[in-house]
């Protein structure tokens, strides 16, 4: 029975074979990649830019640093980090989905980001980098789509340098009951309709709303980071807990 349980995972509210989830998530992001940026702005009323700005400020990156942006998608964080670390530093924009990676690469190259950004298709559960490589790792709105989150956290810890910092920006659990009810209505009644109108795809946005509800809450994710070996873990709620920024260090 234990093996059966380990072989199953959730894809939104559905229970699926663990080995199938990666493919199902890939289909979602292949579908939404071309409209990803526009949908982010519309769905969050632009507030996602403030959440990401706070994440960048919390990273406290400096010139010369090496930064890994996991699930970097269309490159919002990578673009800013590229400017901060300069020619003496490096940013790696990693994403498991080649459609998202191509959209991000084309967008950043068109904006003139060429010299210090690399693009790597990578699974967060088994990052293809040597140990102790990065000063900072970020993963923004990507961890909830990972099948084995514990393996991903261990993989991130492995490739961080001693003294390095992990930042996880992710949708979480609202701390206010009124906000929770309003958020549920918006997520399940409004967002899929937006997805249908703008991206011609309501199903993918239904999955995204469900995946948020299945993601570990703030304290559970902090505990998972502790168990993976991170030190001084904490989190900061934003927008009444709709989003949380988790932080942890490698010592």
Res. 168: pLDDT tops 90: yes
pLDDT, tens digit, 9 for 90 and up, residues 10-23: 766 767 788 778 77
Tell me phi and psi for residue 185, to 5 degrees.
-60, -45
pLDDT, tens digit, 9 for 90 and up, residues 43-98: 777 889 999 999 999 999 999 999 999 999 889 999 999 999 999 999 999 999 99
Annotated binding site: 74, 95, 123-124
Annotated binding site for S-adenosyl-L-methionine: 74, 95, 123-124
Between CA 200 and CA 86 the distance in angstroms is 39
Strand 117-121 and strand 90-95: the pairing is: parallel
Would the pTM of this model clear 0.75, i.e. be above it? yes
Q: Which domains does the chain have, with CATH numbers?
A: 2-175+207-249 (3.40.50.150)
pLDDT, tens digit, 9 for 90 and up, residues 177-215: 999 899 888 888 888 787 777 777 777 778 888 888 889
pLDDT, tens digit, 9 for 90 and up, residues 126-145: 999 999 999 999 999 999 99
Residues contacting 168, CB < 8 A, separation 6+: 138, 139, 143, 221, 225, 245, 246, 247
């Amino acid at each position: 029975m234990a093996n059966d349980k380990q072989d199953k995972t959730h894809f939104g509210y559905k229970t699926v074979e663990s080995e199938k989830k990666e493919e199902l998530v890939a289909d979602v992001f292949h579908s939404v990649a071309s409209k990803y940026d526009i949908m982010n702005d519309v769905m969050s009323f632009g507030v996602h830019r403030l959440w990401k700005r706070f994440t960048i400020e919390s990273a406290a990156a400096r010139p010369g640093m090496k930064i890994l942006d996991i699930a970097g998608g269309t490159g919002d964080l990578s673009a800013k980090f590229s400017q901060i670390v300069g020619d003496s530093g490096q940013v790696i924009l990693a994403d498991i989905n080649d459609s998202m990676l191509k959209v991000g690469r084309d967008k950043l190259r068109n904006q003139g980001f060429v010299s210090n950004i690399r693009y790597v298709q990578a699974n967060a559960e088994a990052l293809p980098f040597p140990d102790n490589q990065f000063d900072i790792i970020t993963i923004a709105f990507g961890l909830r789509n990972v099948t084995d989150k514990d393996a991903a956290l261990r993989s991130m810890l492995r490739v961080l340098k001693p003294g390095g910092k992990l930042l996880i920006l992710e949708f979480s659990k609202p701390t206010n009951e009124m906000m929770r009810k309003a958020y549920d209505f918006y997520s399940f009644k409004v967002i899929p309709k937006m997805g249908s109108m703008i991206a011609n795809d309501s199903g993918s946005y239904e999955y995204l709303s469900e995946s948020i509800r299945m993601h570990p809450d703030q304290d559970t994710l902090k505990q998972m980071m502790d168990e993976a070996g991170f030190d001084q873990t904490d989190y900061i709620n934003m927008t009444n807990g709709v989003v949380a920024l988790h932080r942890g260090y490698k010592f």
